Amino acid sequence: MMAITRGFTGRPRRGGNDRLPPGQYDTGAGWPVLTAELTPQIDVDEWTMTIDGLVDQPTTWDWRGIHALPSDSYFGDIHCVTTWSKFDTTFSGVSLDSLLEVTGVRPEATHVFATSTTGYTTNLPLADITDGKAWIVWDFDGKPLTPEHGGPVRLLVPHLYFWKSAKWITRIELRDHDEQGFWERNGYHDRGDPWLEQRYQGDA
Ligand SMILES: Nc1nc2c(c(=O)[nH]1)N[C@H]1C(S)=C(S)[C@@H](COP(=O)(O)O)O[C@H]1N2
Ligand SMILES: [Mo]
């Protein structure tokens, strides 16, 4: 069933259109797993996430604490640098704006450095995670995010290539400078806007 759906809708449509960024194809009903590390099994009772660095109030949330914040959802598309895009995804959790409202943001902060429990890291301009552009999510299509897709909790920054959406996120540090994360050090772009095709270091 899934193979039929994928075969039908998954044909590469190169060149992009108003829905598909340049060089991407629609992966259809499938959702590839792309993980550089071993998938960790994280118990929600043990789970915490911290936002620190250039904030007024460094804060660590546990499972109950983060669920007490106003919930928010993303409905839309996601784009992986390996050229698949997935349309009409629904993720639920809490917006980064809500979290940063708790911590405050110091005026010197320009970038963030996100770290997963596994040691995976990625860097982002602060402006790419504020104003309704990024979420900490625990549900996909109304069900708990599975471990291979970053469950219990991952970062979601859907307007950038999906390597920026760190799975098993545990820390976001606000900084006054940019430092490359795991894939950025290995040749991927520092920002990664799929509409500008910022795949590799040196791309526009
Ligand atoms: N911790 C961690 N987060 C990660 C990755 C990873 O290898 N480790 N891969 C990134 C890449 S390249 C992509 S495309 C997406 C893949 O998410 P998915 O496996 O849920 O499709 O997660 C991103 N976040
Ligand atoms: Mo990716």
What pLDDT shows up at residue 14?
Answer: 52
Ligand 2 center–CA 92 separation, angstroms: 21
- For residue 74, the cross-strand partners are 91
- CATH code of the domain occupying 48-196: 3.90.420.10
Q: What are the sequence ranges of the domains in the chain?
A: 48-196
The pLDDT assigned to 16 comes to 73
Ligand 1 within 6 A of CB of 119: no
DSSP assignment of 183-202: HHHTTB-SS--GGGT--BTT
- Residues near 125 by beta carbon (within 8 Å), at least 6 away in sequence: 110, 111, 112, 178, 191
The predicted pLDDT at position 15 comes to: 54
Residue 93's CB: how many other CB atoms inside 10 A?
25
The rounded distance, in Å, linking the Cα atoms of 52 and 174 is 6
Q: Between the CA of residue 99 and those of 51, 58, 84, what are the distances in Å?
A: 8, 11, 30
Q: Which pLDDT belongs to residue 154?
A: 98
| 92 strand-pairing partners | 73, 139
Closest CA to 87 of 100, 77, 72: 77
Distance in Å, CA 149 to ligand 1 centroid: 7
Testing ligand 1's pocket by substitution, the residue of 165, 182, 183, 184 carrying the most ligand atoms inside 8 A of its CB is: 165
Q: Can you give the pLDDT of all 204 residues of the chain as single tens digits?
A: 344 333 344 444 455 788 999 999 999 999 999 999 999 999 999 999 999 999 999 999 999 999 999 999 999 999 999 999 999 999 999 999 999 999 999 999 999 999 999 999 999 999 999 999 999 999 999 999 999 999 999 999 999 999 999 999 999 999 999 999 999 999 999 999 999 999 999 998
